[in-house]
Structure 1
Amino acid sequence: MGKSWLISNIYAYARRLIRPLLLLMIGLFFAYRAWDLNERFHLVVATIFVSLAVVTFVDHIRNTGEKNLRSRLGTRWHGVALNLGIILAFLDLVFAQIEWAQMGRVLVQAQYEVLLPAFVVVVLSLFLRAWRWQWLLRVVGEIPFAFVFRASCIGIGANMVLPARAGEFLRAYVLGRRTGHSKMAIFATLVMERILDGLSILFILVIVMLFGVRSEEIHILGAVGGAFYLIALGGLVLFYHRQAWMMQQVQRILSKEWAGRMVPLLSAFGEGLHTLRSARQLLIVGAQSLLIWLVISGSFYPVMLAFDFGAPVPLFTPFLLTALVALGLTVPGTPGGLGIMQYMAVLSLQLSFAAAAITPAHGFAEQAAAFSVLMHISQALPEIGFGAWAFIAEGMRWREVSQREGEAVM
């Protein structure tokens, strides 16, 4: 009982600190930008977010743990403020110093007909992702592709409009609701999917670096991403092979009430990891993951052709962009990666041109910023469109989703 009380209190205290600290970091970032660029706008934003950090910390200290309306509203606005801060920080890095009139002219002159092949490739990637997921789901049961595809589209579309990659939980909920299979077992296959995605991205990043792409940002992202995915994979393997021992530890550490809740969930989660016992299936889904990310990379190239960067874009640029965006989104954050995708798009172009020893033409910053906007649209429109179609086809209602928030895999 003592250990359970200690763990729950440490967890609660950490949760109370993390959002105020992140808001404070955002405020300090804008304070630095105000000093560096001498812009009043940045100073105002810095003041707002430092104030929000203080208010959020006070709210958490005063929170008694009661699930009343006031506490729920407080938690929600803390999350909204944090997401808004992350979006503003990354967008500021892209758009703070560009000529807006010039960027407007670039967008007017862009060749929008290239969006059609980009849309087609994005849709192809949706089918491939559902195909890969159906393979992973074999350990749960034989599930028709139509069910898997619709659930996958709903989750991917939701990730474009909801923060913290909430669409992953929604995918498990939708498919469990449709088939009657354990939502936790289904969610375990999604965890496996994310790890395979991460390892595929790291492989692509290594190949791109062989072309001479070097930067501190890539080294940091590669190191952090590599450590994260390897630790996660090791954790899953350990959990799968030592599941009984871990169940005993849960029952020993947690209270009887909490252990009674957690043990069935962990048992179901373990069922979704049976892919780990088959080297053949791991190789198949690993190859599928690599194919998916190569196709996603191909969806970026047509959009690059819509703009005049003053020189041909190096052929490895879409693959670098894919790796940077995927690693940037490793930590759940803003809806659809807004801000992060724009920053990574511009960074990938800068690094590619530098690696190819190409001097950017005048107006490169505006071309790159405009590309980042159109690239995001080319991904978001088909994903949200197919997600909305699947949402309606499944007979779902938004009220049902909001009521199940936080309970999607239970």
Structure 2
Amino acid sequence: MKRILFGTVVSIIALGFLFSKLDLGEFTQIQERWEPIYLIPFCISSAWGLLLFSWRWHLLMGKQIQFRYALFASFIGVGANMFLPARGGDIFRLYFCKKESELQYPTLVTALFIEKVLDFSFIFSAGLCALMFLGIKDESSNSFFIVSSLIIVGIFVGLVAIRFLNDKIISVLAWAAGLLGKKEWFLNKLAHYIRELGEFLVLKKFILPAVLTAFTWLIGYALSYGVLLKLVGIPMSYAGIVFIMFAGAVGVMVPSAPSGAGVFHASVTSSFVLMGRKASEGLFYATTVHLAQFILQSVFAIILYIYWIFDRRKRGLGKAEFSLKESEVIETES
């Protein structure tokens, strides 16, 4: 409950700061450029991006669940993140896959952890490349370049170390945890994630999910971001789209209200300002993206969740009653 309240406060502060700095009268001029016809390709491109996302999720679970149910879990989980607090949609995705396979929570949590590592690594790399390609040069961009470069180098050095020094890293971390009286907790709760990540970082296991990660962002999510730019009549290069996408992804990493309200808007607006565009344009676009994704992904989630409930009844299976308390079960079992 405290995390939800804290996230809500962060979102309210972010939105308040944005609106206090903007001339909202400019919104009227931007609204006149709307082209509603682009809502159709937006729906198609969003479904395409989620299809790629689902395929990767299917592979990360070792194909131990039918692709059909990996697809349902992904669509419902991403949609649920739009209105459930504390990334509740990700918790639902694990719960769904547990119900539809023989997989145990530790394996599912590991797959989710690897997914986040892949996304985090790729979007930071893509954001840095976009910044370089756009040629943005000022004090804030230089700081961003340095920090991002250090993060990317740290990620790749960490992954290489986990791959080749797995046992040594676990031993060192267990020793450090022992100094805090948490050695048994570390060995029981965290060590297997590091071990399984090391086992995953083999070329034949890693290459296809990594390629799918790139495709998901660059020809999946970027496509829908670009279509929404057409919707609001804002011209933007592909590098600019990738940079905006990066900013939005970083924004939702900050604790906030469900769906990243506030922090997403602030991050996207900041990316527009860095590119020399109007802040009002950035906020209007961020609001459009947020609202469009919220409505579409929520509709996907509700329709597929209802279908899943009836499908389980048809197969003679028991009720599937999800609660955010499932996170407590996941934590206990993993």
Asked whether the two chains share a fold, i.e. TM above 0.5, the reply is yes
**Cα drift, residue 279 of structure 1:** 1.2
Residue 315 of structure 2 corresponds to residue 393 of structure 1: no
Contact in 1 for aligned 2:125/2:152 (Cα 8 Å): no
Alpha-carbon distance change, 378 to 265 in structure 1, aligned in 2, over 3 angstroms: same
Partner of 2:13: 89
Equivalent-residue separation in structure 2 for 1:406 and 1:104 (angstroms): 47
Residue 291 of structure 2 corresponds to residue 377 of structure 1: yes
Partner of 2:248: 325
Alpha-carbon distance change, 291 to 308 in structure 1, aligned in 2, over 3 angstroms: closer
Contact in 1 for aligned 2:4/2:86 (Cα 8 Å): no
**Cα drift, residue 162 of structure 1:** 2.3
Tell me which moved more, 239-248 or 189-198.
Answer: 239-248
The one of 286, 308, 311 equivalent to 2:210 is 286
Equivalent-residue separation in structure 2 for 1:388 and 1:243 (angstroms): 43
Tell me which moved more, 121-130 or 96-105.
Answer: 96-105
The one of 232, 241, 261 equivalent to 1:338 is 261
Contact in 1 for aligned 2:162/2:169 (Cα 8 Å): no
The one of 162, 176, 189 equivalent to 2:111 is 189
**Cα drift, residue 230 of structure 1:** 4.7
1:333-391 superposed Cα distances (whole Å, 9 cap, x missing partner): 43111112212222222223x3xxxxx5xxx4433322111111222222222222332
Give % identity. Answer: 18
The one of 295, 301, 306 equivalent to 2:231 is 306
Contact in 1 for aligned 2:121/2:152 (Cα 8 Å): yes
The aligned runs of 1:144-163 (5 Å cut-off) are: 144-163=66-85
The aligned runs of 1:95-106 (5 Å cut-off) are: 95-104=19-28, 106=30
The one of 272, 278, 282 equivalent to 1:349 is 272
The one of 280, 289, 309 equivalent to 1:366 is 280
Equivalent-residue separation in structure 1 for 2:180 and 2:89 (angstroms): 29
The one of 136, 152, 157 equivalent to 1:226 is 152
**Cα drift, residue 124 of structure 1:** 0.6
Amino acid at match of 1:122: S
Alpha-carbon distance change, 400 to 199 in structure 1, aligned in 2, over 3 angstroms: closer
Amino acid at match of 1:302: V
Amino acid at match of 1:299: S
Please list every run of 5 or more consecutive structure 1 residues that lacks an aligned counterpart in the other structure.
Answer: 1-75, 355-359
Equivalent-residue separation in structure 2 for 1:408 and 1:127 (angstroms): 26
- TM-score, normalised with respect to structure 1: 0.67
Amino acid at match of 1:367: E
**Cα drift, residue 265 of structure 1:** 5.2
- TM-score, normalised with respect to structure 2: 0.80
1:257-303 superposed Cα distances (whole Å, 9 cap, x missing partner): x94x8756557646753652521221221111111110211211121
Query: Residue 96 of structure 1: SS of its match in structure 2?
Result: helix
**Cα drift, residue 187 of structure 1:** 0.9
Alpha-carbon distance change, 303 to 202 in structure 1, aligned in 2, over 3 angstroms: same
Equivalent-residue separation in structure 2 for 1:180 and 1:262 (angstroms): 26
Contact in 2 for aligned 1:345/1:368 (Cα 8 Å): yes
Equivalent-residue separation in structure 1 for 2:270 and 2:173 (angstroms): 45
Query: Residue 161 of structure 1: SS of its match in structure 2?
Result: coil
Equivalent-residue separation in structure 2 for 1:116 and 1:316 (angstroms): 24
Alpha-carbon distance change, 173 to 230 in structure 1, aligned in 2, over 3 angstroms: farther
Equivalent-residue separation in structure 1 for 2:242 and 2:64 (angstroms): 34
Contact in 2 for aligned 1:182/1:268 (Cα 8 Å): no
Query: Residue 11 of structure 2: SS of its match in structure 1?
Result: helix
Rg larger in structure: 1
Amino acid at match of 1:372: A
Say what the alpha-carbon RMSD is for the aligned residues.
3.4
Please list every run of 5 or more consecutive structure 2 residues that lacks an aligned counterpart in the other structure.
Answer: 313-318
Partner of 2:123: 201
Query: Residue 238 of structure 2: SS of its match in structure 1?
Result: coil
Equivalent-residue separation in structure 2 for 1:169 and 1:231 (angstroms): 29
Amino acid at match of 2:9: G
Tell me which moved more, 262-271 or 275-284.
Answer: 262-271
**Cα drift, residue 93 of structure 1:** 3.5
